[in-house]
Structure 1
């Protein structure tokens, strides 16, 4: 399955996460995407805070990367995993990730230390839930025959075009089954968020339709929750849903364009136009809270 490629252009690209930050707090959005234009704080200061991670975020990062390795291994061999060696691999990866990143919980003095063993147990729990699920065994029966065509977190950022607008919709796992069906699985290690996750899957279905000319009725989209147990929530996307989604992307993109002085070059308006959120409770979880004095 070959992805379409695009020439670089500086214009901003819509994504679920980008617009979510824009909606939540315009100042946080500025720091996330326009740090080089800030005259108050250095680029190094802002980039350092941007790179802060959290325990829940890191659990998700590690689980995603382990699933990627698992599925890539499955493309090469169907031999049973050595459980002891696999657990050792999970622990080693968890330790490596945790020791090489700065956690917001430590930086902002919410915790005195990061307990690697606890993160490892959470990661292992999520991965084992997937390995023991009916879906994992189903892959052997229904999808393995075309494993060479699997897309497992493909390189890049999932760039696509939605009615000629730049957008990013990067799938976790897309694979063909039979002659026509195309499955999309999206891993979640956190709490269910029906509206947000349905919007993400609509984006992935639109992405698959664009890149592979897949018909909406043949795209089977599943949100896969890995904790506290493995559960799946199907998201049905029709042709009408894709049209509606494209209209929504256009509206949201134009909202973000309004904070650009030169849209084609993605140059922002002055920082003061990126207002702080009125919901100060959100600041407790923001990496940039020290810059705003909240």
Structure 2
């Protein structure tokens, strides 16, 4: 299958739904304000909010390094399908870990939970995850089934994965997409805990993104989450018309909920910060980059 080019959309300021955006909105409206509307804060300097927003974490950076290592390996497979040298690849991953850890500020250090975070702190866990990938049935499937179609692979397409769902702007950016015969396969790598409810929403979104851009029935698309930690596992959503209709309605309903916190929908201008209430859930506060601003001492 030769895929057409991904469609481009003219820029608009209207907010776009995504699984991650709505999750932040649902969990804490104040965190949502700082994450998406920091320039409208009349009290705290933008530079301060942006600094806190840019903080990474051990778990997040572990995922970033694994994710980007797999991306680069797949790009390499588009050029040559020669067997992977484990020692060379692990050295490549270690170098990436050094670069990432040296260039970022960690939340755990900023909030004095740890004195420092170095690549050596992350590499043992990263290597375990990478080994799960290298010995997986999915990598074997990629070599045996996907490599012959490598010229048609889509690996982290540019942009933000913009699409339209029920005529609402939405973002559903895929990691890795390949056509095989008359089917499209989408894979999403995960290093965190299994969450089928959340991840099924992402997979349906990916399928609708591909359906929209490539003019194919969403039920011709197989979307799979590949869990790489603590043990290898996969989760695939088998789409039905009922699931698609329900998801499309959810996107519309959730978008409208976020619209309620705007004073100007067309230009995506929020109401005042005080309208974005703080959560009373201590779990979210403990791991929030912006907890310093709320002065919650959990």
- The TM-score, its normalising length taken from structure 2, stands at 0.96
Provide the rounded CA distance (Å) in 2 between the counterparts of 1:128 and 1:152.
Answer: 21
Q: Is the 8 A contact 1:12 1:266 kept in 2?
A: yes
Q: Is the 8 A contact 2:101 2:118 kept in 1?
A: no
Runs of 4+ aligned structure 1 residues displaced above 4 Å come to none
Q: Is the 8 A contact 1:216 1:238 kept in 2?
A: no
Partner of 2:242: 240
Provide the rounded CA distance (Å) in 1 between the counterparts of 2:164 and 2:84.
Answer: 39
Q: Is 1:22–2:39 an aligned residue pair? A: no
What is the CA-CA distance between 1:223 and the residue it aligns to? 1.0
Provide the rounded CA distance (Å) in 2 between the counterparts of 1:56 and 1:283.
Answer: 17
What is the CA-CA distance between 1:134 and the residue it aligns to? 1.3
1:122-161 matched pairs, under 5 angstroms: 122-161=125-164
Partner of 1:252: 254
Partner of 1:201: 203
Q: Is the 8 A contact 1:216 1:239 kept in 2?
A: no
What is the CA-CA distance between 1:70 and the residue it aligns to? 0.7
Provide the rounded CA distance (Å) in 2 between the counterparts of 1:237 and 1:184.
Answer: 13
| Deviation readout 1:20-52 (Å, 9 max, x if unpaired) | 000000000000000000011000000000000
What is the CA-CA distance between 1:83 and the residue it aligns to? 2.6
Partner of 2:49: 46
Partner of 2:287: 285
RMSD: 1.1
The secondary structure found in structure 1 opposite 2:266 is: helix
The secondary structure found in structure 2 opposite 1:220 is: strand
Partner of 1:121: 124
| Deviation readout 1:73-129 (Å, 9 max, x if unpaired) | 101101122332222111110011011100000000111121422311222221221
Partner of 1:272: 274
Provide the rounded CA distance (Å) in 2 between the counterparts of 1:128 and 1:7.
Answer: 42
Partner of 1:216: 218
Provide the rounded CA distance (Å) in 1 between the counterparts of 2:225 and 2:87.
Answer: 29
> What residue ranges of structure 1 are gaps of 5+ in the alignment?
none
Farther-moved stretch of structure 1 (196-205 vs 112-121): 112-121
| Deviation readout 1:238-282 (Å, 9 max, x if unpaired) | 232222111100000000001110100000001100000021231
The secondary structure found in structure 2 opposite 1:148 is: helix
Provide the rounded CA distance (Å) in 2 between the counterparts of 1:199 and 1:169.
Answer: 10
> What residue ranges of structure 2 are gaps of 5+ in the alignment?
none
Farther-moved stretch of structure 1 (89-98 vs 214-223): 214-223
What is the CA-CA distance between 1:137 and the residue it aligns to? 1.1
Q: State the number of aligned residues.
A: 293
What is the CA-CA distance between 1:221 and the residue it aligns to? 1.4
